[in-house]
Amino acid sequence: MRSVSSATVWEAAIKHGTGKLPLPGDFPGELDAAGMEQLRVTFEHGLAAGRLPLYHRDPFDRMLVAQAQLEGLTLVTADAELARYGVPILPA
């Protein structure tokens, strides 16, 4: 399964709004067209993210780690520090 977290889209929209990240006009549509499945943030994801050790303080990254742990997913990231959480990492 190829998933994109709602948290990723949220963070991308914030960065787009500050001018740090260009996004296509229909970003969600582009993700759908690429065959990406939306991974929604659930109550369980929120609780798991809040219980993580504070190796990393970025709340978006902590959410992605929690989702990867609970859903058995590999996290695609350029942040090697996230490997400290024991989730499978695919370097970006």
The CATH number of residue 67's host domain is 3.40.50.1010
Q: Do the strands 3-5 and 37-39 form a parallel or antiparallel pair, or are they unpaired?
A: parallel
Which pLDDT value is given to residue 1? 72
SS3 track for 35-62: CCEEECCCHHHHHHHHHCCCCCCCHHHH
Domain that holds residue 19: 3-91
Q: Which two tokens stand for residue 91?
A: 């370097």
Closest CA to 51 of 63, 39, 60, 42: 63
Only one residue has tokens 């989702």, namely: 67
Domain count, the chain: 1
> What's the whole-model pTM score?
0.91
Residues with pLDDT less than 50, the chain: none
Instruction: Quote the mean pLDDT of the chain.
Output: 95
Cβ distance 62 to 36 under 8 Å?
Answer: no
